[in-house]
A and B are shown apart, each in its own frame.
Chain A
Amino acid sequence: MTGIWNAIFAAGFFANPEVQNALWLGGVIAVVSGCIGVFTVLRGQSFAGHAMSDMGAAGAAGALLAGGTAVAGFLSFSVVAGVSVDLLGVRPRDRDVATGLVLTAVLGLGSLFLFFDTRTVGAPEIILFGSLFTSDPGLTPWLSALGAAVLLALAILFRPLVFISLSPDTALARGVPVRAVGFAFMLLLALAVGESSLVVGSLLSTSLLIGPASAALRVTARLRHAIPLAAGLGLLGTWLGILLAYDSFYWPPYGRGWPVSFFITGIVLAIHLLSRLCPPADRHGSTRAERTAKRGV
């Protein structure tokens, strides 16, 4: 028994302070991304979410050049990106074009920042592929508080957000401030994306945002089940990824752990593919699992 345990959790896994920090921070971000992700998928804003993380990368490069931390750049630039995507276009076609053009221009700026930054070792790698194990533990309480604030704000926006996502005309007629609620969600999305870019890198943050959410929406037809399920699946992917990355230190080539982002995105993809095997809920709202459970009772 201990042999299996030790084979799974390599020596020092739970005692290692970097691992402890990564488990906590990764957990916070997985839960926030999963919850926000359900609404992102529901509102068809996956592309906007991805654009924010790309622009966040340019921000992170700028922050490193200015001698700051990557996380400050990620958060500020994804918020700016979110605001501009929201303001630039209301019609979907305008929005796509505007997002695409602003996105590439800002990425170009990011490449310039990286070119000038000669001090930070491995800056492109940190920005694009994440730095969960090397994240400054001093930032963890702040990032946790930010994550909690995002979840709280999402809870407050919950009903009007569902209303405007499903039936904007009726919501408008009922007096919901449709534009303001949509804008507020865009801000929350930007903050969630900025945080998750820190974990798995800007290129891969979309994985944590929409992977667990789309899998959860496939498995259940109920919003109040989908949200905790998405958070749980994200948590599973992140923690399993951290464990495998830690264990991979003993895999060839010896003495160098594999990137944690590789494991997390791989596991999220696997979760997504597994969820496709599950048949969609029927007209009566039961998934196969729920029907089986009912028969069992």
Chain B
Amino acid sequence: MTTTWDAREEILALQKVSVHFGQRTVLSEIDLSIGGGEFIGLIGPNGAGKSTLLKVLLGLLPPSSGSVHVLGRAVRRGSAVIGYVPQKIHLDPGTPLTGRDLVGLGLDGHRFGFAIGGRHRRERIDDALRSVDATHLAQSPVGRLSGGEQQRLLIAQALLTEPKILLLDEPLSNLDIKSAREVVRLVARISRERGVTVMLVAHDMNPLLDVMDRIVYLAHGHAVIGPVDAVVQSDVLSGLYGYPVEVLRTRNRILVVGGQDTELEDWNLAGEEHCDGGVAVS
């Protein structure tokens, strides 16, 4: 994390990407250029357009205008270059699959027929399990594991195609603080060891402050990208939101406080899960 982002190969490029649903503008002229091995936090309150942006990046939703390129090619659904970790999956306690089965779906779950278990397949799954410190979960029924353990398996699943980009949709939102910290550390390590670009979606930036190279701050469909210290400033965010907000730095935490009483309620909604005593957080 010592090299600057612009020294690296461009992995992901968005040019003037807009998404409209009828009259409503969800994303407005987003420009992003992201390099190899970068750790990006995609931060913003609920309803800011984070999920929509993820769908565009995955090729699930064609933008109304603008272009998305991954490694210089137009993005398409099902690309092995992008690994996707969903927010959470509903697993019944009786789900008849082991950790190894779940991870293996990332390799060949989209193919027809049965998985023919070769040594090569087994080794790749073992390797992915090792990367997320989940070797001991290989034989466990997935429905009986904790949220954090399931999250690690889903990350391993996303790693199996050896992607250049890892997209994680709110991976911290269902975890306690300790598990959240472990997941962040794990993802940062994977990014470093494998040279994978990470884009991690969260509504609270604080757990990511130590590991983020740059932050993409999204609000009202507009985005600002840059180092945390440059982006998370009262004047920058006020411009993004269109009304005065204040950024407070207290010990190692950053709080973004809405400047108008009328907006306070929205703010609390945006950060309620990680708001510990503060008025409101980003």
A interface residue numbers (CB < 8 A to B):
38, 42, 155-160, 162-163, 166-167, 169-176, 217-218, 220-223, 225-226, 280-285
Contacts and interface: CB of A to CB of B under 8 A. Distances in A.
Q: Which of A42, A159, A174, A176 has most chain B Cβ within 10 Å?
A: A174
A162 B145 CA distance: 19
A221 B96 contact: yes
Interface string B76-109: 0111001011110101011111100110011011
A173 B112 contact: no
B157 A170 contact: yes
Contacts of A176: 78, 109-110
Contacts of B194: none
Contacts of A157: 112
A160 B108 CA distance: 9
Given A170-B84, A283-B144, A285-B140, A163 B110 contact: yes
Contacts of B85: 170
16 contacts: A42-B96, A155-B113, A160-B110, A166-B102, A167-B86, A169-B87, A171-B110, A172-B77, A174-B78, A174-B84, A176-B109, A221-B95, A223-B101, A280-B94, A282-B144, A284-B140
B206 interface: no
Contacts of A163: 105, 109-110
Nearest to B86: A169
Contact of A159 (B58, B98, B115): B115
A176 B109 CA distance: 8
B98 A175 contact: no
Contacts of B157: 170
Nearest to B113: A156
B192 to A, nearest CB: 24
A166 B91 contact: yes
B119 interface: no
Contact of B97 (A155, A162, A172, A174): A162
B141 interface: yes
Interface in B50-83: 58, 60, 77-79, 82
B96 A217 contact: yes
B94 A285 contact: no
For the complex of A and B, the 7 pairs showing the least CB-CB separation, nearest first, are A175-B78, A163-B109, A221-B141, A169-B86, A173-B84, A223-B96, A285-B139
B21 interface: no
Interface residues on B, range: 35 or more
A94 to B, nearest CB: 19
Given A167-B89, A217-B94, A218-B94, A285 B141 contact: yes
Given A167-B86, A175-B110, 18 more contacts: A42-B96, A158-B114, A160-B109, A160-B111, A162-B109, A166-B89, A166-B97, A169-B89, A171-B105, A171-B110, A173-B84, A174-B110, A176-B110, A221-B141, A222-B96, A225-B96, A281-B144, A283-B141
Q: Which of A170, A225, A280 has most chain B Cβ within 10 Å?
A: A170
Contacts of A156: 112-113
Contacts of B102: 166-167
Nearest to B91: A166
B140 to A, nearest CB: 5
A159 B84 contact: no
A160 B140 contact: no
B105 A162 contact: yes
Interface string B127-152: 00000000000011100110000000
B135 to A, nearest CB: 13
Contacts of B86: 167, 169-170, 173
Contacts of B158: 170
A162 B109 CA distance: 8
B196 interface: no
Nearest to A157: B112
B154 interface: yes
Given A284-B140, A285-B141, A159 B109 contact: yes
Nearest to B102: A166
Nearest to B167: A173
